């Protein structure tokens, strides 16, 4: 089993209280980076790092900018937010197993927000796409309640 | 229809196509593998995130 674990970065929770992040549309630039299996990503991850990040044709270090067309919303006692478009790499080749992506804030010292995992994959001269859950109070990618 | 592969663009009819589906707690993954004479020449992957990550839970009094 990989050492990468799906989790909100603990540091992000503190930074919420410090008003560090702005996930509103037109706010901070958020990015998604891909990581190999056993890169030890999880709640203790504090920021983007090139250690463990994938490399290969079609992949640029630091990953892709995440489209943010919908500002965080509130429903009852739950605040929530989801990227407004899929994250996609084309003409990509990553030959070793990777199983995680890190959502991080490129406008704020590359501070980590969350680690999301999936079954290990390789990609060969193809397209890699991450689709988000629906943006709602019980389904959004990121929830605060 | 031509498909871009490690061998250049190849007609889809010449390729063997296999779809693979995997599940985890967080995601469902669909991969399409394209083979030419038994050799993998393209692999596409779609990760469908299934559930949220939650920052925390507050206790109301």
- DSSP line for B1-61: -EEEETTEEEEGGGSEEEEEEEE-SSEEEEEEEEEETTEEEEEEEEEEE-S-EE-------
Is there a contact between A86 and A129 (Cβ–Cβ < 8 Å)?
Answer: yes
Could you tell me the end-to-end alpha-carbon distance of chain A, in angstroms, rounded to an integer? 30
Exposure of A48 by Cβ count < 10 A (0-12 exposed, 13-18 middle, 19+ buried)? Answer: buried
pLDDT at A1 > cutoff 80: no
Better pLDDT: B55 or A26: A26
- Taking the Cβ of residue A141 and every Cβ of chain B, the question of whether any pair is shorter than 8 Å is answered with yes
**B29/chain A closest Cα distance in angstroms:** 7
What residue of B is the nearest CA neighbor of A15?
A: B55
What pLDDT does A145 receive?
Answer: 85
What is chain A's mean pLDDT, rounded? Answer: 95
With residue A31 as reference, give the H or E element that holds it: strand A30-36
Is there a contact between A120 and A98 (Cβ–Cβ < 8 Å)?
Answer: yes
| Alpha-helical runs (H) found in chain A | 10-17
Q: In which band, very low, low, confident or very high, does the pLDDT at B58 lie, cut at 50, 70 and 90?
A: low
Mean pLDDT of A29-40: 97
| Measured CA distances, A104 to A33, A76, A83, B28 (Å) | 8, 27, 12, 22
Instruction: Say which of A8, A116, A129 has its CB closest to residue B26.
Output: A116
pLDDT at B6 > cutoff 70: yes
Cβ–Cβ of A125/B29 closer than 8 Å?
A: no
pLDDT at A57 > cutoff 90: yes
What is chain B's mean pLDDT, rounded? Answer: 91
Is there a contact between A105 and A4 (Cβ–Cβ < 8 Å)?
Answer: no
Contacts of B10 (CB under 8 A, 6+ apart): B2, B3, B36, B41
pLDDT at A4 > cutoff 70: yes
What pLDDT does B59 receive?
Answer: 56
What pLDDT does B25 receive?
Answer: 86
- ipTM strictly over 0.85? yes
Q: In which band, very low, low, confident or very high, does the pLDDT at B26 lie, cut at 50, 70 and 90?
A: confident
Coil, helix or strand for A113?
strand
- Taking the Cβ of residue A18 and every Cβ of chain B, the question of whether any pair is shorter than 8 Å is answered with no
Instruction: State pLDDT tens for residues A120-130.
Output: 999 999 999 99
A56: DSSP letter: -
pLDDT at B60 > cutoff 70: no
Alpha-carbon distance B33 to A31, whole Å? 28
pLDDT at B61 > cutoff 60: no
Contacts of B55 (CB under 8 A, 6+ apart): A8, A12, A13, A16, A142, A143, A144, A145
Which of A143, A13, A15 shows the shortest CA–CA distance to A80?
Answer: A143
Instruction: State pLDDT tens for residues A74-86.
Output: 999 999 999 988 9
């Amino acid at each position: 089993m990989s050492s990468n674990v799906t989790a909100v970065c603990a540091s992000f929770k503190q930074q919420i209280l410090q008003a560090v992040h702005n996930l509103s549309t037109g706010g901070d630039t958020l990015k998604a980076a891909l990581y190999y299996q056993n890169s030890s990503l999880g709640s203790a991850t504090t920021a983007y790092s090139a250690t463990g990040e994938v490399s290969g044709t079609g992949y640029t270090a630091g990953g892709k900018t995440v489209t943010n067309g919908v500002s965080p919303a509130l429903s009852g006692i739950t605040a929530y937010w989801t990227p407004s478009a899929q994250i996609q790499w084309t003409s990509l080749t990553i030959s070793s197993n990777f199983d995680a992506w890190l959502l991080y804030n490129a406008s704020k010292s590359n501070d980590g927000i969350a680690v999301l995992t999936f079954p290990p994959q390789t990609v060969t001269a193809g397209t890699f796409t991450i689709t988000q859950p629906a943006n709602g109070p019980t389904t959004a990618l990121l929830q605060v309640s | 229809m031509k498909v871009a592969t490690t061998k250049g663009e190849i007609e889809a009819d010449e390729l063997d196509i296999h779809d693979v589906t995997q599940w985890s707690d967080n995601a469902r993954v669909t991969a399409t593998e394209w083979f030419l004479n038994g050799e993998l020449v393209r692999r596409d992957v779609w990760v469908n995130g299934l559930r949220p990550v939650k920052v925390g839970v507050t206790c109301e009094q």
